[in-house]
């Protein structure tokens, strides 16, 4: 299952925004006030400017029972 | 005049709109082969012949030869932003992960529309994967009824919102793969349409509420939808192509599917 970097609101604000064009980072808010990014960004050259900062943040697997749920389940 | 333009001109295949697309790609640091110029020119010629070109506000050929080419829209020549590392495969698609990666087209329906209008709008996507999930391939929503978005397959149906509440349509085969379009040309359930690979789908539940103030005022996202500025309804999907504009006739739907499938086949992305 895919791995994710877990960020606080302040950490999310630190990395949010344009990266190397045409890429950008926009951490996704989850329940509990935490934010996630796919771990894929760690090895992506477009996000190299944030690699060291993001590598120091905790990671979780989406299959982990404690993985923070989405804010909005898909609507009917 | 460049050598490519001269060669295509001699071949009678250079379309002026495709050359403008090429110029935008090159200016952004990308490139485009003569083969793709020819394929895209045939596509645009087919669209113009059917009348669909004038009714379609923009096209996104995500199956580009390279990243820059795949991120420049064909008609309005807008640049897509790739958010949280969606995976690009040349000549195939962008793949989103169903949780955090998506594409931001920058296309705001209410302000970037030309042919579309509040009560005449259409969104279509060409997906290369089959996933049954109550999630969104693409879309934008400003309120519960000002929603332009597609859920291409949940079990045996598709949910299509054409600046309206959801209409439910029975898929001819239980797959999300292929070309799915949702549209409407009046504020009536009977004037709401769903097409799969150019063929009308049976509407099983008609939309009952219709956006009347405007089209959505936020950009269309891909791999989920834009819920008033927040990424929502994420879908793990592989998307090769997308269009937005006004409603097409049944004949234009089929003609556009044939043209899209021809482009897909030419680059090896057909499903």
Domain coverage including residue A42: 3-61
- What is the predicted ipTM? 0.93
Under 8 Å CB-to-CB from B120, ≥6 apart: which residues? B184, B185, B186, B246, B247
Position A38 scores a pLDDT of 96
Q: With an 8 Å Cβ cutoff, are B80 and A62 in contact?
A: no
Task: Place B5 in a pLDDT band, splitting at 50, 70 and 90.
Answer: low
A42 within some domain? yes
Q: Å from A22 to nearest chain B CA?
A: 5
Q: Which two tokens stand for residue B131?
A: 């996933």
A34 within some domain? yes
Name the residue of chain A whose CA is nearest to B83's CA.
Answer: A24
Phi and psi, residue B223, nearest 5°: 95, 15
pTM, two decimals, is: 0.94
Q: C-alpha distances in angstroms, B139 versus A43, A60, B102, B179, B242? A: 29, 29, 11, 15, 11
Q: What is the pLDDT of residues B51-98, one digit of tens each?
A: 999 999 999 999 999 999 999 999 999 999 999 999 999 999 999 999
A75 within some domain? no
The residue among B80, B99, B226, B228 with the most chain A CBs within 10 A of its CB, best to mutate, is: B99
Residue A35 touches chain B, beta carbons under 8 Å: no
In this complex, which of B81, B136, B227 lies closest to A24 when CB atoms are compared? B81
Distance CA B93, CA B195 (A): 21
A26 within some domain? yes
In this complex, which of A25, A28, A37 lies closest to B231 when CB atoms are compared? A28
CA angle in degrees (0–180, nearest 5) for B195-B199-B201: 55
A66 within some domain? no
A48 within some domain? yes
Q: What is the pLDDT of residues B154-181, one digit of tens each?
A: 999 999 999 999 999 999 999 999 999 9
Count Cβ atoms within 10 A of the Cβ of residue B117 and give its class: 0-12 exposed, 13-18 middle, 19 or more buried: middle
Q: With an 8 Å Cβ cutoff, are A36 and B100 in contact?
A: yes
Chain A residues within an 8 Å CB radius of B97: 2, 38, 40
**For residue B270, is the peptide bond before it cis, meaning its omega torsion is within 30 degrees of 0?**
no
Position A22 scores a pLDDT of 97
Identify whether the C-beta of residue B102 lies closer than 8 Å to the C-beta of residue B65: no
Q: What is the pLDDT of residues A17-68, one digit of tens each?
A: 999 999 999 999 999 999 999 999 999 999 999 999 999 999 999 899 999 9
- Which residue matches tokens 């990671």? A59
Indicate whether B8 pLDDT > 60: no
A8 within some domain? yes
Identify whether the C-beta of residue B219 lies closer than 8 Å to the C-beta of residue B203: no
Q: C-alpha distances in angstroms, B230 versus A2, A30, B142, B220, B221? A: 22, 12, 10, 11, 10
Q: In chain A, how many domains are there?
A: 1
Identify whether the C-beta of residue B237 lies closer than 8 Å to the C-beta of residue B165: no
Name the residue of chain A whose CA is nearest to B106's CA.
Answer: A22
User: Per this entry, what is the length of chain A?
Assistant: 76
Name the H helices within chain B.
3-11, 16-27, 34-50, 52-55, 67-70, 109-112, 250-267
Q: Å from B46 to nearest chain A CA?
A: 30
A67 within some domain? no
Query: Residue B56: beta bridge partners?
Result: B245
Count Cβ atoms within 10 A of the Cβ of residue B227 and give its class: 0-12 exposed, 13-18 middle, 19 or more buried: buried
SS3 category, B164: strand
Q: With an 8 Å Cβ cutoff, are B101 and A70 in contact?
A: no
Q: Domain segments of chain B: what residues?
A: 52-267
CATH number of B52-267: 2.60.120.200
Q: Residue B184 carries which DSSP code?
A: E
Indicate whether B1 pLDDT > 60: no
Indicate whether B241 pLDDT > 60: yes
């Amino acid at each position: 299952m895919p791995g994710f970097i877990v960020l606080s609101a302040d950490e999310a604000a630190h990395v949010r925004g344009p990266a190397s064009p045409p890429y950008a980072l926009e951490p996704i808010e989850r329940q509990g006030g935490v934010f996630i990014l796919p771990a894929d960004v760690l090895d992506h050259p477009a996000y190299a400017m944030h690699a060291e900062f993001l590598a120091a943040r905790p990671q979780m697997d989406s299959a982990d029972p404690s993985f923070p749920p989405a804010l909005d389940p898909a609507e009917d | 005049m460049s050598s490519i333009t001269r060669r295509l001109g001699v071949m009678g295949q250079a379309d002026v709109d495709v050359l403008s697309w090429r110029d935008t790609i090159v200016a952004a640091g990308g490139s485009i082969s003569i083969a793709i110029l020819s394929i895209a020119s045939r596509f645009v010629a087919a669209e113009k012949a059917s009348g669909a070109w004038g009714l379609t506000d923009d096209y996104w050929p995500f199956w580009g030869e390279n990243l820059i080419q795949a991120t420049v829209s064909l008609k309005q020549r807008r640049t897509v932003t790739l958010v949280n590392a969606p995976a690009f495969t040349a000549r195939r698609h962008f793949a989103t992960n169903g949780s955090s990666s998506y594409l931001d087209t920058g296309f705001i329906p209410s302000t970037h529309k030309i042919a579309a209008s509040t009560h005449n709008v259409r969104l279509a996507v060409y997906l290369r994967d089959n996933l049954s999930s109550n999630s969104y391939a693409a879309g934008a929503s400003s309120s519960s009824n000002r929603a332009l978005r597609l859920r291409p397959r949940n079990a045996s149906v598709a949910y299509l919102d054409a600046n309206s509440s959801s209409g439910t349509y029975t898929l001819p085969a239980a797959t999300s793969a292929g070309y799915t379009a949702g549209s409407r040309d009046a504020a009536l359930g009977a004037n709401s349409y769903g097409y799969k690979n150019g063929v009308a789908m049976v509407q099983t539940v008609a939309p009952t509420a219709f956006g009347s103030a405007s089209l959505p005022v936020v950009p269309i996202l891909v791999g989920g939808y834009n819920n008033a500025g927040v990424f929502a309804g994420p879908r793990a999907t592989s998307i090769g192509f997308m269009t937005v504009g006004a409603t097409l006739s049944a004949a234009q739907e089929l003609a556009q599917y044939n043209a899209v499938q021809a482009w897909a086949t030419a680059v090896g992305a057909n499903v």
